[in-house]
Amino acid sequence: MKRIRHTYVYCLQCGKEVSSIHNKHQLCRICYCKDRIPWNKGLSKHTDKRLMDVSKKRFGIKFSKKHIASLKTGIRQSFKDGRVAWNKGKHVGLGHTNGNWKGGLITSRDDERILIYSPKHPHRTKDGYVFRYRLVMEKHLGRYLLPTEVVHHIDGNRSNDKLSNLKLFVSNSAHASHHRPKGIYPPNIRRK
């Protein structure tokens, strides 16, 4: 077996040492890819014959001649009679102005905890919701809860958000130690 001899050259742009076996441009990979323009830049499967053929082979997409002609000319085939789409110019509202508004109450993914829409709350989710049991505890205390504070449901029912069923813990470790008193651990956890 013939052994390939490695020779090294320096990149013409950045001066980094690169192997010259397959490097006819004498550029490192970063400098070469930085200025390279992809062959399909600006083309779409609707306008370029090569991409259209690839779409047919891979995905089974077939374009009719009428569709291809409309894409090339830019003329839409629908609404030629002057009709207007039903939602043209209509603004989809946020919050209670949206048609899908359910009163600001949603359930969590586990379908046990209820979230309330509160867009100005400092610890809201990215969609503007806060867990209802946290809001109940905040109203009782008269302040916002810290992100580290944990609200515990005494009876274990996480949809029961009455104040008599809630208990506040300073941290998650305090909450965990409430569930596992000293010396009692699940069988799969080994303590030293």
Q: What is the pLDDT of residues 78-124, one digit of tens each?
A: 566 667 776 666 777 777 777 777 788 888 888 789 999 998 999 99
Within a domain: residue 23?
yes
CA distances from 105 to 85, 96, 108, 139 (A): 32, 11, 10, 18
d(CA 169, CA 158): 16
Residues 6+ apart with CB under 8 A from 56: 62
Q: Are residues 174 and 117 in the same domain?
A: yes
| Average pLDDT over all residues of the chain | 77
Supply the pLDDT for residue 133: 94
* Whether residue 32 is found in the same domain as residue 47: no
* pLDDT tens digits, one per residue of 129-174: 999 999 999 999 999 999 999 999 999 898 899 999 999 999 998 8
Same domain, 150 and 116: yes
Do 144 and 122 lie in one domain? The reply is: yes
Domain of 52, in residue numbers: 42-76
One domain for residues 132 and 174: yes
Residue at 157 is within a domain: yes
Both 21 and 52 in one domain: the answer is: no
pTM beyond cutoff 0.75: no
Asked if the structure places residue 164 within a domain, the reply is yes
> Based on the domain organization, do 135 and 117 belong to the same domain?
yes
Given a cut of 80, whether residue 39 has pLDDT beyond it is no
With bands split at pLDDT 50, 70 and 90, how would you rate the model's confidence at 40? Answer: low
Is there a single domain that holds both residue 124 and residue 154? Answer: yes
Q: Is residue 86 part of a domain?
A: no
Both 109 and 158 in one domain: the answer is yes
Q: What is the DSSP string of the chain?
A: -PPPPP-EEE-TTT--EEE-SS-SS---HHHHHHH---TTTT--TTT-HHHHHHHHHHH-----HHHHHHHHHT--SS-TT----TTTT----SGGGSTT--SSEEE-TTSSSEEEE-TT-TT--TTSEEEHHHHHHHHHHTSPPPTT-EEEETTS-TT---GGGEEEESSHHHHHHHHS-TT---TT----
pLDDT of residue 77: 47
Please indicate, yes or no, if residue 140 is contained in any of the structural domains: yes
Say if residue 5 is in the same domain as residue 65.
no
188 against 48, higher pLDDT = 48
- Is the pLDDT assigned to residue 10 strictly greater than 60? yes
| 131 and 170 housed in the same domain | yes
| Total domains present in the chain | 3
Evaluate whether residue 90 is within a structural domain: no
pLDDT of 30 > 70? The answer is yes
Question: Residue 55: is its pLDDT beyond 70?
Answer: no
Structure-model confidence comparison of residues 136 and 16, the more confident one: 136
The answer to whether the beta carbons of residues 4 and 11 sit under 8 Å apart is: no
Say whether both 126 and 148 belong to one domain.
yes
Q: Mean pLDDT, to the nearest integer, of 58-73? A: 65
